[in-house]
Amino acid sequence: MASSIETGEAWSTMEDVSLCEAWLQNFHCLVSGNEMKFFHMWKKIHAEFREKIPGSTRTEMTLSKAGKIVLTR
């Protein structure tokens, strides 16, 4: 699991997987993902993450920081 970034709250396996899935769907998008600005990419990832984990309080910034940890393993 990713270490806590902002709140001290540990990430669940479901959150890790949802983050990775949302990142893959946006980063590897042939139409827009590779040309998308960093901010817009994480905004879309955050929206998809919130669909997978309703009620999540994780922010776009938290996801991008956790993404650096989870996606570089």
pLDDT digits (tens, 9 = 90+) for 46-69: 999 999 999 999 999 999 888 887
The reported pTM is 0.71
CA 64 to chain centre: 6
Per-residue pLDDT of 1-50, as tens digits, reads 444 444 468 889 999 999 999 988 887 665 555 566 777 888 999 999 99
Q: Is the CB of residue 5 less than 8 Å from the CB of residue 66?
A: yes
What integer pLDDT is reported at residue 41 of this predicted model?
84
What integer pLDDT is reported at residue 5 of this predicted model?
46
Q: Would you list the domain boundaries of the chain?
A: 13-70
- Cα–Cα distance for residue pair 16/1, rounded to 1 Å: 6
pLDDT at 71 over 50: yes
What integer pLDDT is reported at residue 2 of this predicted model?
47
